[in-house]
Amino acid sequence: MEKPAIIIIDMLNDFVTGKLQVERTKHIIPNLKQLVEAARKSGVPVVYSNDAHYPQDVEVVEKWGNHAIKGTRGAEVIPELAPSVKDYVVEKRTYSGFFETGLDSLLRSLYKGEGAKTVILGGLHTHMCVRHTAADAFFRGYHIIVAKDGVEAFTEKDHEEGLKYLENVYGAKIMTVDEIIKEFK
């Protein structure tokens, strides 16, 4: 994989144990922990793409109600996956990690300014924030890898259809965390 960067999406208290919690999300936590730890060891940049909403954000008002409100505990990364000091944290205010955030310029600054070329996506949810972030990564010319045992959704159907869409529409490579880690070496 060419110049990878990990993007961990919305692994926040509100999505895992709080307001919008989904029980089936829990099994991806150890996998993502393995992924970020291996990345840090191999010098692969780790970026957290986190909802940090204002109460008036359209997504809050029109669709989901209050969740991951900026500054609250619900908007913090779950303790098991807490960012290390060398990781990057980029706040977002809707589904895509790229939409009106500094994510693209951050990715382009990595690897001594040569820029990351491949984004490795993990987190929540396969068919929503992962999908929209993948769309924006695709539009900007990044290669996309999705950790299939490192993403989840509300239902098995949402998850499976989400993965298929990512593969069919954005040419995402769907890999296990183990397969991804092997390529770091």
Q: Does 14 bind Zn ion (CB under 5 A)?
A: no
To the nearest whole angstrom, how small is the minimum distance from the Cβ of residue 124 to Zn ion? 10
Strand order in the sheet with 88-92: 88-92, 46-51, 4-9, 118-124, 143-152, 173-175
Q: Does 76 bind Zn ion (CB under 5 A)?
A: no
Among the residue ranges 18-26, 47-55, 96-104, 142-150, the one whose residues contact Zn ion (CB under 5 A) = 47-55
* Helix, coil or strand: residue 19: coil
- Residues 75, 78, 79: CA angle, nearest 5 degrees: 130
Contacting Zn ion (CB under 5 A), which of 6, 7, 14, 51? 51
* Helix, coil or strand: residue 15: helix
The interface with Zn ion within residues 83-142 (CB under 5 A) comprises none
Closest to Zn ion by CB, 97 or 122: 97
Q: Which residues bind Zn ion (CB under 5 A)?
A: 51, 59
